Structure 1
Amino acid sequence: MATLPLEQVRLDYLFRGSDASTADLDLYHAVLEFRLEQAAPDQVNLGHAGVLAGKDAHATPARQGCALSGAATLSLEQVLADIRQLPSLPAVVGELVKTLNNEFADIGQIAKGIAKDQSLAARALRVANSPFYGIQHEVASIHEAIVILGFRAVGSLVMAASVMGYFPLPVGIAFDLTRFWRHGIGTALCARALARASGGDAETAFTVGLLHDIGVLLLATTRPTHYAKVLAWRAANDCLLVEAEQAVLGFDHAQAGEALASRWGFPAGIARAVALHHAPGGGGDMVAVAHVANILAHALDLAGDPRARVPPLDMETWRRLGLDRATLKALLAGIEQEHENYCALLAR
């Protein structure tokens, strides 16, 4: 009976139901080759694996979407009303958001504001002092971090720390906040790497990646009873989260996330990328980065959720980035190394 490496079986399970398009295969094989180079040569008997494997040699089943569950009990208009009642982000983060649209912003003044928020400053400095950046002496101040790393890189760290601390742990629902942010940070790092490789704006891409699923956390926090039904529907139907949301609620987290990003004052391009990361057709370069980064983070299972599915990859969006399998594979080791650093250092 045929055997396959354990890492291939795991990856085939994550990609279960994906169509066998060239785009899916390129990303699949880039991740598979990377994983096999890392992994011990464990073998799994396919007769007991319970999943299909070998995307080149075997047909995969058509992806089954979620059937509609009936009349929705929550409207997007109600969620928009919830958003209007939420507190603003910290003032310093609001100033950072404004710099995304204003090249003449007073960076010195913003740096002083960051330094005054001891919690945000401390978490940003922990990342700046991590071995990943290779700085030979301790970075003791936000001003010094800006000089060494650049204002936008430090701004990204501060924004990440603030957004990650904004929502409390959802109550009344089985929601893994740590896993959620592991995926968010992973997508942010994938987006930054993809933007650099394709000539895009790396720090804006990082922010988009961090925010792409913020609608999930919004819904789980403000409407836990409704969102518990979404999670139960996904588990029962083995479908994508966005499909379960549409089936149960009639709208999805990308729509809710776009509204929240706009409410927080993020530029329209960032809000648009949040809105379209599952349906990127014709959305532009930053939408393309968000779409592929989310899929790559799922394929690498950076959240540590082996039950999740890898969403389908849009062929035209993949082509828009102009990356090939070898280029993508070369990015993966750096992404994983950064991911563990960021998750540890940005933890509350």
Structure 2
Amino acid sequence: MSNWSDQEIAAAREALEETELPSRPQGLLEAFKAQSAFAPDLAVAADAIGRDMALSAAVLRAANHNLSGYQGKIASVREAVMLLGFGGLRELVAEQFLDAPLAVMGSPAHEIRLRAQICARVCELLAALLPQRAGAMLSGHLPSVAPDVAHTLGLLHDAGAMLMTRRFRDYAALCDEHVHSDGAELLAAERSRYGFDHTLAGWLAWRDWGLPKALCRAVAAHHDGVRFLRPDQPASERTVAALQGILSLALRLAGQTSDAQWREQGPALLVALHLTPSEWSVLNDQIARAGALDPAEVE
């Protein structure tokens, strides 16, 4: 977790207390149709839900609430759907139809959702490809990450920005002002204007949804790609490091990391993962050929 002050945490919680993630209409319709079909299929429903930020968050929150008191946490939308079953899904999707504000096409919320979907696809592919190429995973120093868990991380890593967009009308303009800045400058501007930043908002949301601590810590550090990737990495933080490594690479591949930030953190990130320049180039080609970067594939 970042070194947030109690004042920042209190400000974030107060500002976001009644703020909800917006769903996209098509995501709601797909999920509703999947769980209302003559021969419903939970896997089809999970795929439909996994393409929508708000539905994924709601399903994970509901599933982890049902597991209250258990030490294990659910990080996969597919696992959450299987736990809830069709009865729980019907109730949840109906609530989203009635209550959730929608991410209108072309709005800042829609743009954040689109970027998140692309990032999720890239994270999922990287989780499958890196164990074959990254020396840190081949050697067992860093654990592999299940592709569906990586998808969750990519889809919801910027939930804090989505929440800020819903809460503050001028947030999108602030982001535009810092579109070519590194992450640290944007976070500083957010703290100056609102009293907290979007990584804190996201961390609070993830924690409240009951998601695993490793995922919460990775999303809190998604603008600091090498925070947990150190040669002396303690075993207790290696899962966070693997998650952060996948997310940081995905953000670069998806064009969501500024050149300035990549110049500062990219070389150290590749060294920490034991990825050579040639292996990094091959990964770039594989992701591009898979169509993961095409916005048309996620709409």
Both proteins in one fold, TM over 0.5: yes
2:123 is the alignment partner of 1:188: yes
**Which among 324, 327, 341 is matched to residue 276 of structure 2?**
324
Q: Indicate the residue corresponding to 1:95 in structure 2.
A: 63
Gaps (5+ residues) in structure 2? 1-6, 21-53, 138-142, 230-236
User: Which residue is equivalent to 1:169?
Assistant: 103
Residue 258 of structure 1 contacts residue 275 of structure 1 at CA under 8 Å; is this kept in 2? Answer: yes
Report % sequence identity: 18
Deviations 1:126-145 (A, max 9, x none): xxxxxxxxxxxxxxxxxxxx
Q: Conserved in 2, the CA contact under 8 Å of 1:288 and 1:318?
A: no
What is the aligned partner in structure 2 of residue 131 from structure 1?
none
Name which of 224, 227, 235 aligns with 1:281: 227
Describe the SS at the equivalent of 2:223: coil
Report matched runs for 1:252-267 at 5 Å: 252-267=197-212
- Structure 2 match to 1:138: none
The size of the alignment, in residue pairs, is 224
Measured against aligned partners, the alpha-carbon deviations of 1:177-209 in whole angstroms (never above 9, x if no partner) come to 454334432452355246534241223333222
Larger Rg: 1
Q: Which is richer in helix? A: 2
CA change 1:256–1:115 in 2 (3 A) is closer
Q: Which amino acid aligns with 1:240?
A: D
Change (3 A) 1:76 1:330: same
* AA of the residue aligned to 2:83: I
2-side partners of 1:96 and 1:337: how far apart? 36
Matches of 1:107 and 1:232, distance apart in 2: 35
The answer (yes or no) to whether the contact 1:188–1:209 under 8 Å persists in 2 is: yes
* Structure 1 residue 213 displacement after superposition: 1.8
TM-score by length of 1: 0.49
Q: Normalising by structure 2, what TM-score?
A: 0.56
Cα RMSD (Å): 4.5
Name the SS for the 1:224 alignment partner.
Answer: coil
| CA–CA distance in structure 1, aligned partners of residues 101 and 272 of structure 2 | 34
> For residues 88-127 of structure 1, what are the structure 2 equivalents within 5 Å?
89-91=57-59, 94-95=62-63, 101=73, 110=83, 112-113=85-86, 116-117=89-90
Equivalent in 175, 187, 201 of residue 145 of structure 2: 201
Structure 1 residue 230, shift from structure 2 partner: 1.9
Q: Which residue of 2 aligns with 1:246?
A: 188
Deviation at 1:302, TM superposition (A): 5.1
Match of 1:228 among 172, 180, 193: 172
Aligned partner of 1:154 in structure 2 is none
Match of 2:38 in 1: none
Alignment of 1:265-344 (within 5 A): 265-279=210-224, 280-282=226-228, 284-301=237-254, 311=262, 312-313=264-265, 317-340=269-292
Partners in 2 of 1:259 and 1:91 — Cα distance?
A: 17
Contact in 1 for aligned 2:61/2:209 (Cα 8 Å): no
User: Does structure 2 conserve the Cα–Cα contact (< 8 Å) formed by 1:194 and 1:289?
Assistant: no
Q: 1:86 to 1:248 in 2, by over 3 A?
A: closer
| Residue 233 to residue 267, structure 1, CA distance change in 2 (3 Å) | same
2-structure distance, mates of 1:258, 1:92: 15
8 A Cα contact 1:254 1:276, kept in partner: yes
